Amino acid sequence: MMRTRQHQWRCSDVTFHCPNQGLCEQWITVINEQLSLLTNRPKSLLVYINPYGGKQRGKRIYEQKVAPLFHRACISADVIVTEHANHARDHLKTEASLEKYDGVVCVGGDGMFSEILHGLVTRVQTDHGVDQNQPDAELVPCSLRIGIIPAGSTDCICFATVGVNDPVTSALHIIIGDSQPVDVCSVHHKDIFLRYSVSLLGYGFYGDLLTDSERKRWLGPARYDLSGLKTFLSHNYYEGTISFLPAEDAVGSPRDKLQCRSGCHVCQHKLSSKDKQWDISEREKPDKDGSGWNVMRGKFIAINAANMSCACPRSPKGLSPSAHLADGTLDLILVRKCSRLDFFRHLLRHINTDDQFDHSFVEVHRVRMFHFQPLYQESISLDDLNETPKKTGCSPMCPAPTACSYNTIYSSWTCDGEILPHAAIQVSVQCQLIRLFARGIEEQ
Ligand SMILES: Nc1ncnc2c1ncn2[C@@H]1O[C@H](COP(=O)(O)OP(=O)(O)OP(=O)(O)O)[C@@H](O)[C@H]1O
């Protein structure tokens, strides 16, 4: 393997010359023996391919770029090309004989990764008798690692954990058996489990943008630009109460410019401390006396909870450049009501070098848990939202919920690109619940 430009890896051939055939064979035997002793290298993988993700090139990418490398590395792979949405998730949840494999590979985008995440995590909890509906449940970490071969539209999770969206680089990380622990957020509504998230939970701007872009899937990746512009011009804001438990004992802070990189000492500190006591003790606090929790009510253009930097090729530093992959925290970014021009300035800072948190209307907190309650109690579900007629023309903040439609009072949460059916949610971070075949972004 050799490093080329911008975090890309390529195969590197080394040729040994020796006139003695016996000696050559001895070398081959010894090298193969040494390789088989490396227990972190996977020997058997379960591969799911989404043939419809991104530009619909998942199958070709796997067959032309990845399978030949697995073959050279003597990795056997059972391949399933999905036939419908949630095929991979449901297969992992119930049918897959996971004991046969050293890892699961996802060929697709962030939505496909989310399917694999839900299938695997749910399977492990079911096997261990853990009830996912309990927000306080201590989830059992997954022993199988997940590899991501990027073949979607944005591939944000691959980019934020490898540094580049390149199928060959990702395949090489899988082959050499890299391991990167990653925190997972569990999201509940009134003690009912909704979803897991590893990258972004966004209400307001990003929730509206994703909701709109789902209706424009036929446009391909360009849908994000169009929906982004439309959402920006709408300039909606939403009222609600956010309560969060700050990660007071965390090593870093969202504005410390300490980026999570390969071998990150902040994440390793979390790994070595093995002290998960806060998990239990802190969770009890809000039920007792609310101590330790911060509560804020206000009008928000966006509420973003970043579990990782959320860097992508369009925004190479991401929504929260100093968020960590595996420190047991997430960065909660609150963008309060402001002028359209100010919000534009804030957005612009995601693609230049200025500090996007350095605005009076933006605050950021490193937290372990948070709850959000919209101003009005939700009385209708997202199904109703889909049936609601287009906006009625009243302003986003209405005097009473009955006076205007659902989508002028509530935004929706986007959870790693999927839309959640409720606005009122409880979120808690499950420290290092999964591991990826990756090593974090390497310093150049
Ligand atoms: N065979 C299939 N037919 C239809 N949909 C599928 C199939 N397999 C998976 N899906 C669904 O397709 C959705 C989108 O897939 P994917 O994430 O791979 O691509 P994308 O949306 O283009 O990329 P990104 O999520 O990175 O923007 C996923 O939510 C997944 O559940």
Residue positions annotated with a catalytic role: 110
What are the Cα distances from residue 324, in Å, to 3, 169, 274, 278, 392?
24, 22, 17, 18, 41
Cα 160 from Cα 143, distance rounded (Å):
21
Rg (CA), the chain: 23
What pLDDT sits at residue 290? 58
CB 178 within 8 A of CB 439: yes
Reported as a single tens digit per residue, the pLDDT across 291-338 is 789 999 999 999 999 999 998 877 888 999 999 999 999 999 999 999
Residue 146 CA to ligand 1 centre (angstroms): 17
To the nearest whole percent, how much of the chain has pLDDT over 70? Answer: 88
The answer to whether the CB of 385 falls within 8 A of the CB of 419 is no
Q: What is the pLDDT of residue 379?
A: 59
345 band by pLDDT with thresholds 50, 70 and 90: very high
User: Does residue 402 surpass a pLDDT of 50?
Assistant: no
**42: Cβ below 6 Å to ligand 1?**
no
The per-residue pLDDT for 36 is 84
Band (pLDDT 50/70/90 cuts) for residue 410 is confident
Phi-psi label, residue 328: left if phi above 0, alpha if psi -120 to 50, beta otherwise: left
Q: 218 alpha carbon to ligand 1 midpoint, in Å?
A: 13
pLDDT for 102-141, tens place per residue? 999 999 999 999 999 999 999 999 999 999 999 989 999 9
Tell the residue number behind the tokens 């009385």, with chain if given: 379
For the segment 178-193, the average pLDDT, to the nearest whole number, is 95
Q: Is 80 in the pocket of ligand 1 (CB under 6 A)?
A: no
Residue minimizing CA distance to atom 29 of ligand 1? 111
pLDDT of 275 strictly over 60: no
Range among 172-186, 368-382, 395-409 with highest mean pLDDT value: 172-186
| Phi, psi dihedral angles at 323 (to 5 degrees) | -70, 150
Consecutive H or E run containing 86: none
Question: Is 60 exceeded by the pLDDT of residue 407?
Answer: no
pLDDT of residue 186: 96
**Where in the chain are the domains?**
2-178, 192-268+278-382+400-431
Report domain 192-268+278-382+400-431's class: mainly beta
More confident residue, 391 or 414: 414
The pLDDT value recorded for residue 363 is 95
Distance CA 71, CA 64 (A): 12
- The rounded distance, in Å, linking the Cα atoms of 48 and 107 is 6
Cβ atoms < 10 Å from Cβ of 202: 27
111 CB under 6 A from ligand 1? Answer: yes
Q: CB neighbours of 113 closer than 8 A, spacing ≥ 6?
A: 106, 146, 148, 157, 158, 198, 416
Tokens in use for 212?
Answer: 């709109």
**Most confident range, picked from 5-19, 293-307, 392-406:** 293-307
**Using 50, 70 and 90 to split pLDDT, how confident is the model at 39?**
confident
Q: 164 and 6 in contact (C-beta within 8 Å)?
A: yes
Residue 418 β-bridge partners: 415
Which residues are CB-contacts of 371 (< 8 A; sequence separation ≥ 6)?
242, 243, 244, 286, 424, 425, 426, 427
- Cα 111 from Cα 213, distance rounded (Å): 14
pLDDT: is 272 or 207 the higher one? 207
Q: What is the Å distance from ligand 1's center to 340 Cα?
A: 33
Angle CA 422–211–373, to nearest 5: 30
Give the residue with greater pLDDT, 403 vs 5: 5
**Cα gap 157→178, rounded to integer Å:** 16
How many Å lie between the centroid of ligand 1 and the Cα of residue 177? 26
Q: Which pLDDT score, from 0 to 100, does residue 408 have?
A: 65
What integer pLDDT is reported at residue 357 of this predicted model? 92
- Find the largest Cα–Cα distance for the chain: 88
* 301: helix, strand or coil: strand
Report ipTM (2 d.p.).
0.96
- Give the model confidence (pLDDT) of 213-231 as tens digits: 888 877 777 888 889 999 9
- DSSP H or E run through 239: strand 238-246
Ligand 1, from 47, 48, 50: best to mutate by most atoms within 8 Å of Cβ?
50
Which residue type, as a one-letter code, is found at position 247? A
For residues 366 and 308, what is the distance between their CA atoms, to the nearest angstrom? 12
Pick the residue with more confidence: 70 or 281?
A: 70
CB-based burial, 8-29: b 16+ in 10 Å, e otherwise: bbeeeeeeeeeeeeeeeeeeee
- Asked whether the CA dihedral 356, 357, 363, 367 is positive or negative, the reply is positive
- Ligand 1: residue whose CA is nearest its atom 6: 85
Backbone φ and ψ for 231, nearest 5 degrees, come out as: -65, -40
What whole-number percentage of the chain has pLDDT above 90?
65
Ligand 1 pocket, 315 CB below 6 A?
Answer: no
Residues 136-170: tens digit of each pLDDT? 899 999 999 999 999 988 899 999 999 999 999 99
Ligand 1 touching residue 199 (CB < 6 A):
no
User: CA–CA distance from 302 to each of 238, 246, 269, 286, 420 (Å)?
Assistant: 8, 19, 31, 24, 16
Query: Above 60 in pLDDT, residue 389?
Result: no
Q: Per the structure block, which two tokens stand in for 279?
A: 């998990």
Q: Backbone phi, then psi, for 246, in 5-degree steps? A: -65, 150
Which mutation among 49, 52, 200, 416 tests ligand 1's pocket best, with the greatest number of atoms within 8 A of CB? 52
- Closest alpha carbon to 190 in 431, 328, 381, 366: 381
pLDDT average, residue stretch 368-372: 96
DSSP state of 220: G
Our answer on whether the CB atom of 150 is closer than 6 Å to any ligand 1 atom is no
Fold of 2-178: Rossmann fold (3.40.50)
- The per-residue pLDDT of the chain, averaged, comes to 87
pLDDT value of residue 412: 92
Average confidence (pLDDT) over 31-53:
92
Whether 153 is in the pocket of ligand 1, judged by its Cβ within 6 Å, is yes
Residue 232 has pLDDT above 70, yes or no: yes
**Mean pLDDT calculated for residue range 325-352:** 93
- pLDDT of the residue at 324: 95
> CB of 110 closer than 6 A to ligand 1?
yes
Burial of 318 (C-beta count, 10 Å sphere; 0-12/13-18/19+):
buried
Angle at 382 (CA atoms; ends 376, 383), nearest 5 degrees: 135
How much of the chain is helix, strand and coil, in % rounded to 5? Answer: 35, 25, 40
